[in-house]
Structure 1
Amino acid sequence: MHYSCGQTRPPNLDGSAFVTATGAAVMLRGSSAGCGLTGVILGGDRLDYYCWTLGNDGYTYTFVSAFEKGAAGWALDSEIPNNGSSVHCPI
């Protein structure tokens, strides 16, 4: 299921440990490249993964909280460690 731009954040279902970003990535308002930015992930940021979903553009996205920055949003799985969450978001 695609989470449209600005839709309510998904539940935090991924109980894995925090991961540390190794490079830069953007956080979006929905699971699509067409959604606006909510923040930027930088190398060294600690990330909390919630769950992943298939975007309407055919790519997979994970909802990420960079809580130390106070920012959260959808990140393209190919741009974050471990290709994002291993837990699928509910429909």
Structure 2
Amino acid sequence: MRRRIMWALPAVAVVAACLPVTFAGSASANALCGTSATDKDSTAWDATGGGANMRSGSSTSCAINGIAASGNHLDYHCYTWGADGYSWTYLRNDSKSPDVYGWVRDTLLSDGGSLVPC
């Protein structure tokens, strides 16, 4: 399993990183509801497991755009950190027609999600 390492930060940096901010292309920023991301990652993955909600931002409070079901082909774009402390991958599910885009918490992706920061 691929893993992402989060380095220890001074307390001020941790608090600042957890504040809700507009997504600005930094992997430390939250993707607010309604936020998309450019395709910076060239990897893809066939989803496994029972499925995961694809959301409009990196939070379970954001709207569900679709579902990444078992066996779907997912095109990873990049990841960011959510306010929940978990990393989230923005992806395109090209098994759906038309394609569905959304954010999925990386713990729900069997390979751990994208390794390319947004």
TM exceeding 0.5: yes
Percent pairwise identity? 37
Stretches of structure 1 lacking an aligned partner (at least 5 in a row): none
Structure with bigger strand share is 1
Within 5 Å, which residues of 2 pair with 1:27-46?
27-46=54-73
Residue by residue over 1:37-89, the C-alpha shift from the partner in whole angstroms, topping out at 9 and shown as x without a partner, is 00001111000000000011211100011022121100010111310000011
Match of 1:49 in 2: 76
TM-score (norm 1): 0.90
- The two structures have a TM-score, normalised by structure 2, of 0.70
Work out the CA distance in 1 between the residues paired with 2:100 and 2:59: 18
Aligned-residue Cα RMSD (Å) equals 0.9
Q: Quick one: distance in 1 between partners of 2:102 and 2:112?
A: 15
Q: Which residue of 1 aligns with 2:47?
A: 21
Q: How many correspondences in the alignment?
A: 87
* Larger RCO (CA within 8 A; separation ≥ 6): 1
Whether contact under 8 Å (1:28, 1:35) holds in the other structure is yes
Shift of 1:35: 0.6
